Amino acid sequence: MRPKVAVIGTGGTIASQGAHPLDVQDYASSGRPILDAEALVAGVPELARVAEVFAVPFAAIPSTAIGWSDWRALVAKIVELEAAHPDLAGVVVTHGTATLEETAYLLSLTLPTDLPVVVTGAQRPFTGLSSDAQMNLVAAVRVAANPASRGLGVLVVLNDEVHAAREVTKTSTGRLQTFRSPDVGVLGHVDADRVSYWRRPTRLLPLAQRFAIQDSEQPPRVDVVYSVAGGDGVAVHAFLAAGASGLVAAALAPGFLTPAERAAMAEAIVTGCTVVLSSRAGSGRTFPTRRYGEEGFITADNLNPQKARILLMLALARTRDRAEIAALFETA
Q: Mind listing the pLDDT tens digit for each residue in 177-195?
A: 999 999 999 999 999 999 9
1 — pLDDT class (breaks 50, 70, 90): confident
pLDDT of residue 61: 85
Q: Decide if 171 is catalytic.
A: no
pTM check: above 0.85? yes
> Are the beta carbons of 234 and 92 closer than 8 angstroms?
no
The CATH 3.40.50.1170 domain(s) of the chain lie at 4-207
How far apart CA 84 and CA 87 sit, in angstroms, is 9
pLDDT of residue 45: 97
Phi, psi of 91 (to 5 degrees): -130, 140
> Are the beta carbons of 86 and 51 closer than 8 angstroms?
no
pLDDT digits (tens, 9 = 90+) for 292-331: 999 999 999 999 999 999 999 999 999 999 999 999 999 9
What is the average pLDDT across 89-101?
Answer: 97
* CATH of region 219-331, choose from 3.30.360.10, 2.30.110.10, 3.40.710.10, 3.40.50.40: 3.40.50.40
The CATH 3.40.50.40 domain(s) of the chain lie at 219-331
Share of the chain above pLDDT 90, in %: 95
CA atoms within 13 A on the CB side of 310: 24
> Are the beta carbons of 40 and 55 closer than 8 angstroms?
yes
Catalytic option among 13, 110, 127, 286: 13
pLDDT of residue 200: 95
Phi, psi of 323 (to 5 degrees): -65, -40
Superfamily of domain 4-207: L-asparaginase, N-terminal domain (3.40.50.1170)
Tell me: cis bond preceding 254? Omega within 30 of 0 counts: yes
- Return the DSSP state at 3: P
